[in-house]
Amino acid sequence: MKNLKSLLRIEFERIFSNKVLLAIFFGAPILYGFLFGFVYEPAKVVDLPLLIVDEDQSPISYKLIDAFDDNEGLKISEVRYVPGNIKEDMPYEEYAAVVSIPQDFEANILQKRHPEVRVDLNMANILNANMASKNIQAVLMTLNAGIEIEGLKKQGYSPEQAMDSYESFKINFNKLYNSAGNYLSFMLPGLLAAIMQQVIFLALALVFARDFEDGYFHELASISKWSPFHILLKALPFFVLIPVMWFAVAGILEYFRIDGDLFNLPMLLLTILLSLAGMGIGMLFSIVFPNQLKATELLMVISTPAFVLSGFTWPSLAIPSGIQSFAKVIPLTHFLSGFRKIAFYGGDLASISTELSMLVLITLVTFLAMTFILHVKIRKSRSQKG
């Protein structure tokens, strides 16, 4: 026990003497947390630039332009009265969409000829294009319904009859789980979890690799030949430091008032297991690759695509099965799946049993692999010294 306390003091000194490690471990979650938080703070996309080409210049076309102007998701950047070359203008203006109102638009409506409003969507940014399409459709469908109902009223229908004649049935959309469509609540927790996994990976990738590089491992091997003792020695400082960073992450989520049930027992257990699984993978790489640079570079191969492969933003069903299998060995995949069930669906421990089991499995497998490989390295070190 006395040896353990002395060695732990040395471990903390070695951790806090590594300025790069401290900058990554303490700086990255806080810096990126606030950076991403402020990026997504508006919570939804508004004022998408819109070009309108009005070749009709009629009361109805003016009414349509006013309707677009009233939509908070769209902002009319320019109104033209003759068509231009959109492809030439797009690199400079980057319109989300171009709405073209044809000549004789009002006359054709009055004569029931069903004129066509053309909408050209800029698909270079799919999110902007989808949001623009949604808002443009809402405006056009509302105005279309209004014109049709007004026409029926002129034929002698009462307002109620006109409405009933136009609508064969009503549609009621009820938004569940993040009903406000808050993009901040959707993205920020996932990004912070990805950052924390990467920080844990990189921090733990240095613990043994550094010892191998500077020869401190031989000293430790001479003190104890029991590999779980060495694993515990390296892990104990991070049992203190990692919770500190998770509290910082929780503070960032509270600062930005993220919607969702974030602070409960299932989420706590999920967070603990993500940390343990991340520590296991990081330490395993640190033992297998006894070079700090190589260990961190190889871990980056796993951590860099982790957020994309997790299924958090792009559905897992659309990912090829081989890549899905690779994603399942990454702790973040299971954490984010469980996070969504708890934070948004209000799930309990039973609902995330699969995710918890996979995180426990990753932790156990990495621990057993570490124990065996480290045992071999300790024996080799002691035999060389002897």
Place of tokens 């400079």: 92
Amino acid, single-letter form, for residue 245: M
pLDDT in tens, 114-148: 888 899 888 887 778 888 998 999 898 888 877 77
74-80 and 97-101 strand pairing: unpaired
Q: Hey, what are 48's tokens?
A: 């998408």
Same-domain status, 325 and 191: yes
State residue 149's pLDDT score. 67
- In sequence order, what are the beta bridge partners of 50? 76, 97
State residue 338's pLDDT score. 94
State residue 165's pLDDT score. 60
Same-domain status, 208 and 276: yes
- In sequence order, what are the beta bridge partners of 121? 97
Whole-angstrom distance, CA of residue 157 vs CA of residue 150: 9
Whole-angstrom distance, CA of residue 360 vs CA of residue 276: 8
State residue 169's pLDDT score. 47
State residue 381's pLDDT score. 87
74-80 and 48-54 strand pairing: parallel
Final residue belonging to a domain, choices 136, 166, 196 = 166
State residue 113's pLDDT score. 85
Whole-angstrom distance, CA of residue 305 vs CA of residue 300: 9
Domain that holds residue 198: 2-41+182-385
Task: Please say whether the dihedral angle defined by the alpha carbons of residues 348, 353, 358 and 360, taken in this order, is positive or negative.
Answer: positive
pLDDT in tens, 287-343: 999 888 888 888 888 888 898 889 888 878 788 888 889 999 999 999 999 999 999
Region of residue 162 (left: phi > 0; alpha: psi -120 to 50; beta: else)? alpha
State residue 173's pLDDT score. 66
Same-domain status, 6 and 88: no
Same-domain status, 373 and 308: yes
Closest alpha carbon to 100 in 68, 128, 147: 68
Final residue belonging to a domain, choices 134, 166, 198 = 166
State residue 87's pLDDT score. 72
State residue 292's pLDDT score. 85
Has this prediction a pTM greater than 0.85? no
DSSP assignment string, 18-48: -HHHHIIIIIHHHHHHHHHHHHHTT-S---E
Q: Hey, what are 161's tokens?
A: 């009859």
**Count of structural domains, the chain:** 2
Same-domain status, 36 and 149: no
State residue 162's pLDDT score. 59
Residue 171 lies in a domain: no
Same-domain status, 320 and 363: yes
Q: Hey, what are 53's tokens?
A: 């080409």
Q: Whole-angstrom distance between the N-terminal and C-terminal Cα of the chain?
A: 25
Name the H helices within the chain: 2-17, 19-22, 28-40, 59-70, 86-93, 105-110, 126-154, 159-166, 183-204, 207-214, 216-223, 227-255, 265-288, 292-303, 306-309, 321-327, 331-343, 353-385
Same-domain status, 153 and 199: no
Q: How many CB atoms lie within 10 A of CB 252?
A: 19
Same-domain status, 301 and 200: yes
Contact 275, 242 (CB under 8 A): yes
Same-domain status, 57 and 158: yes
Same-domain status, 63 and 102: yes
Domain containing residue 81: CATH number = 3.40.1710.10
State residue 153's pLDDT score. 65
Whole-angstrom distance, CA of residue 253 vs CA of residue 360: 26
Residue 205 lies in a domain: yes
> What stretches in the chain show pLDDT beneath 70?
1-2, 43, 91, 149-154, 159-173, 176, 385-386
Final residue belonging to a domain, choices 166, 201, 216 = 166
Closest alpha carbon to 358 in 320, 330, 319: 330
Amino acid, single-letter form, for residue 382: R
Q: Mean pLDDT for the chain? A: 87
